[in-house]
């Protein structure tokens, strides 16, 4: 079975390390805040000016003035700081983010990412994506493995306008966890019940499969 959005977020959360400063992008990445593992402390950043983002609020905690970059209401963790977007981007551009988690339309085998526009469709703007992929030390991309037509989104070369070049380290899709290095996707884990053959069939870019590929385990 393909992973749900929540399961993708849970698997991303397992990549967090104690002391990390982490930027969470719009969409699936924001769900990671709900699954930070016990026993570690991380500071989650939202590019609109919140450092120390907590999980989504329950109904009694909703504050319309406390939102993330996707205009969703969030909570603030203990020790959180709120500041303007200029300071937020100074943090991002200054290389002070250990990990960025963001979505994409396409990723290719050289670590290039296309995430901000599809030609001839409404474009809302680049947002902070270009700064984030250039400024973070480590980048994980979350996405579906294929589009609604069944066409692969893990390519030999991106066809859409690029957000960043050679910057993506890992991709977690609804089918698999892959690492990008040496001009190829390296299959590390597969979603429970998903076969290696299905992943191969839905990966257009160069894919290397070494040994037995374990199913993902969720702590």
Q: What are phi and psi of 8, to 5 degrees?
A: -60, -45
Active site (catalytic) residues: 47
List CB contacts of 205: < 8 A, sequence separation 6 or more: 108, 109, 152, 154, 155, 156, 157, 184, 185
Helix, strand, coil % over all residues of the chain, rounded to 5? 20, 30, 55
- DSSP letters for 114-176: E-S--TTS-----TTHHHHHHH-S-EEEEE-SB-TTS-BSEESS--SPPSBSS---EEEESSE
Q: Tokens standing for 190?
A: 């597969």
């Amino acid at each position: 079975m393909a992973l749900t959005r929540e399961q993708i977020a849970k698997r991303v959360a397992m990549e967090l390390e104690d002391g990390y400063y982490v930027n969470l992008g719009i969409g699936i990445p924001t769900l990671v805040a709900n699954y930070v593992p016990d026993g570690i402390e991380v500071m989650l950043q939202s590019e609109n000016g919140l450092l120390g983002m907590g999980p989504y609020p329950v109904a009694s905690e909703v504050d319309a003035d406390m939102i993330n970059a996707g205009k969703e209401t969030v909570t603030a963790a203990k020790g959180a700081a709120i500041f303007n977007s200029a300071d937020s981007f100074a943090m991002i551009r200054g290389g002070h983010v250990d990990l960025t988690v963001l979505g994409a339309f396409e990723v290719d085998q050289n670590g290039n990412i296309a995430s901000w526009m599809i030609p001839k469709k409404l474009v809302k703007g680049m947002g902070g994506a270009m700064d984030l992929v250039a400024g973070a030390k480590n980048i994980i991309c979350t996405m579906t493995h294929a589009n609604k037509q069944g066409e692969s989104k893990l390519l030999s070369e991106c066809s859409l306008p690029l957000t960043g070049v050679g910057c993506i380290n890992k991709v977690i899709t609804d089918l698999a966890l892959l690492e990008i290095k040496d001009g190829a996707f390296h299959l590390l884990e597969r979603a429970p019940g998903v076969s290696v053959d299905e992943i191969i069939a839905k990966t257009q870019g160069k894919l290397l499969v070494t040994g037995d590929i374990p199913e993902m385990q969720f702590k």
